Amino acid sequence: MKLDAFKLGLAAAIIVAVVWSICALFVVLLPETMMAMSGHMLHADFHEYRWTMHFQGFVVGLVMWTLLAGLLVWATALIYNKLSALPPK
């Protein structure tokens, strides 16, 4: 089976953009809860820190994470397609 690398990369980018937006919304609405959850996820104590969520930071993070996810999944699909074209051992 051959994957369409562009479509798969685009799908991953869209999903990451949606998840980033939802996460940012939670940070704005529930900052203490999200800080505690982030600490639990990283096995760290973040209780002395605060979020700084500005619109510019949201947009920069959205663009960078979306591009990164799209490019990584696109490259993964390209490599998968090349490997799947090799004869089996």
- Which residue has better confidence, 30 or 51? 30
Query: Could you tell me where the DSSP H helices lie in 1-89?
Result: 5-29, 31-41, 55-84
How far apart (Å, rounded) are the C-alpha atoms in residues 32 and 77?
A: 38
Q: Which residue has the tokens 């529930």?
A: 30
Per-residue model confidence as pLDDT tens digits over 40-85: 999 998 888 888 889 999 999 999 999 999 999 999 999 999 999 9
What ranges do the domains of the chain cover?
A: 5-84
pLDDT at 49: 86
